[in-house]
Amino acid sequence: MSRIEVDTTRLPLLLGDLRLPAIGRFWLEIAERSDREGWPAARFLATLAELEVAERAQRRIERHLAEARLPLDKTLDSFDFTHVPMLSRARVAAIAAGDAWLSKGDNLLLFGPPGSGKTHISAAIGRALVETGYRVLFTRTTDLVQRLQAARQQLALEAAITKLDRYDLLVLDDLSYVRKDQAETSVLFELIGKRYERRSMLITANQPFAEWNKVFPDPAMTIAAVDRLVHHAVVIEMNVHSYRQKAATTRKNRGASIRSDNQNTDAAISQQNANKTLASDNLVRQSSHPSAAESPS
Ligand code: ADP
Ligand code: MG
């Protein structure tokens, strides 16, 4: 090997050229320690390499957190699992680890009345997945539909949908707020078709499938969309009362009149939910996939 002229004063420049910012910041400190403690050269080099790799992973996660557009403060730590008995912490932890379901492109469908915690838990799952190294995009379904429609008008729908492939998980919040009369929602159908069995989606909605005819242009498209979504999906119905209402009630120290009001609302919501669940069961059965509502492995 020919002799290389070594000029350590050029190190900051060289490390900058090589895009090794962590080594750039730490090499002097580590070099001094290495000299003091008499490290073998290999240990010195390996220590610097480890630092750079660790920082790179951290930067990647920060980038992915920024691109995920998750609502702030909605984390697993701040989620009160006692409010949602059908959703155990262990089950959510398994989902939030990603692995099996994301690699298969399986879906997660969360249903529940307003305030039941769907947005909170789906954002929390999204955040946990990003921190594990996955790429996630959290969006209100209406916002994404608008984006895709704009792309379609520019004849770039296919490209826009393909671009979403970079995300291991798309969280579509509030699907049932999309209305076919507001917009041409078949873009949503195309998205569902494109991701089917390849890339995962987490969809939240107030109503299980029964009301989705209001979302898609025609019943055949609704059935086809539901069919693809539930084929490899975990369906969780969060039939609990509004957490906001619970918080407000607690704050008011449970006055007698509030209590009886809530009981009336509770009864109404329970009845509503019972009806909806029945309707969704029918639709799932129609879609002829008996495995649709199974629990996660
Ligand atoms: P949804 O999306 O089902 O309408 P949200 O997730 O927006 O409900 O919940 C409404 C509010 O209550 C939010 O501020 C949310 O953080 C809070 N919340 C809901 N469920 C829980 C829970 N189980 N633990 C802690 N906060 C909750
Ligand atoms: Mg919500």
Q: Is the CB of 199 under 6 A from ligand 1?
A: no
Q: Is the CB of 243 under 6 A from ligand 1?
A: yes
Pairing between β-strand 233-237 and β-strand 107-111 as defined by DSSP bridges: parallel
- Cα dihedral 228, 188, 273, 239, rounded to 10, equals 80
Q: Looking at residue 253, what is its pLDDT? A: 56
Nearest atom, ligand 1, residue 174 CA: 2
Q: Is the CB of 117 under 6 A from ligand 1?
A: yes
Q: Is the CB of 80 under 6 A from ligand 1?
A: yes
User: Which of 76, 82, 119, 127 has the most ligand 1 atoms within 8 A of CB, as the residue to mutate?
Assistant: 119
Is the separation of the CB atoms in 109 and 161 below 8 Å?
Answer: no
Q: Looking at residue 184, what is its pLDDT? A: 67
Output the CA 87–ligand 1 centroid distance in Å.
14
C-alpha span between 74 and 152 (Å, rounded): 33
Q: Is the CB of 241 under 6 A from ligand 1?
A: no
DSSP 8-class letter at 227? H
Nearest atom, ligand 1, residue 84 CA: 23
pTM, entire model: 0.78
Q: Looking at residue 108, what is its pLDDT? A: 96
CB atoms within 10 A of CB 156: 14
C-alpha span between 30 and 40 (Å, rounded): 12
Digit-by-digit pLDDT tens for the chain (297 residues) are 567 777 888 999 999 999 999 999 999 999 999 999 999 999 999 999 999 999 999 999 999 999 999 999 999 999 999 999 999 999 999 999 998 899 999 999 999 999 999 999 999 999 999 999 999 999 999 999 999 999 999 999 999 999 999 999 999 999 988 877 655 678 999 999 999 999 999 999 998 887 888 888 788 888 999 999 999 999 999 999 998 887 777 666 555 444 444 444 444 444 444 444 434 444 443 333 433 343 443
C-alpha span between 37 and 137 (Å, rounded): 47
Output the CA 275–ligand 1 centroid distance in Å.
23
Q: For residue 237, which ligand has an atom nearest its CA?
A: 1
For ligand 1, atom 5: residue with the closest CA: 117
Is the separation of the CB atoms in 93 and 40 below 8 Å?
Answer: no
Q: Is the CB of 74 under 6 A from ligand 1?
A: yes
Nearest atom, ligand 1, residue 121 CA: 6
Q: Looking at residue 8, what is its pLDDT? A: 84
For ligand 1, atom 26: residue with the closest CA: 79
User: What are the residues facing 137 on neighbouring strands?
Assistant: 170
Q: Which residues contact 230 (CB under 8 A, 6 or more apart)?
A: 107, 109, 284, 287, 289, 292
C-alpha span between 212 and 178 (Å, rounded): 9
C-alpha span between 79 and 186 (Å, rounded): 34
C-alpha span between 89 and 152 (Å, rounded): 41
Q: By CB neighbour count within 10 A (0-12 exposed, 13-18 middle, 19+ buried), where does 141 fall?
A: buried
Output the CA 83–ligand 2 centroid distance in Å.
16
Burial readout 70-91 (b: 16 or more C-beta within 10 A, e: otherwise): beeebebeebeeebbeebeeee
C-alpha span between 83 and 17 (Å, rounded): 54
Q: Is the CB of 176 under 6 A from ligand 1?
A: no
Q: Which residues contact 168 (CB under 8 A, 6 or more apart)?
A: 98, 102, 129, 134, 135, 136, 199, 200
Position 216: which residue type?
F
Q: Looking at residue 21, what is its pLDDT? A: 95
Q: By CB neighbour count within 10 A (0-12 exposed, 13-18 middle, 19+ buried), where does 95 fall?
A: buried
Output the CA 172–ligand 1 centroid distance in Å.
16
Q: For residue 141, which ligand has an atom nearest its CA?
A: 2
C-alpha span between 222 and 238 (Å, rounded): 22
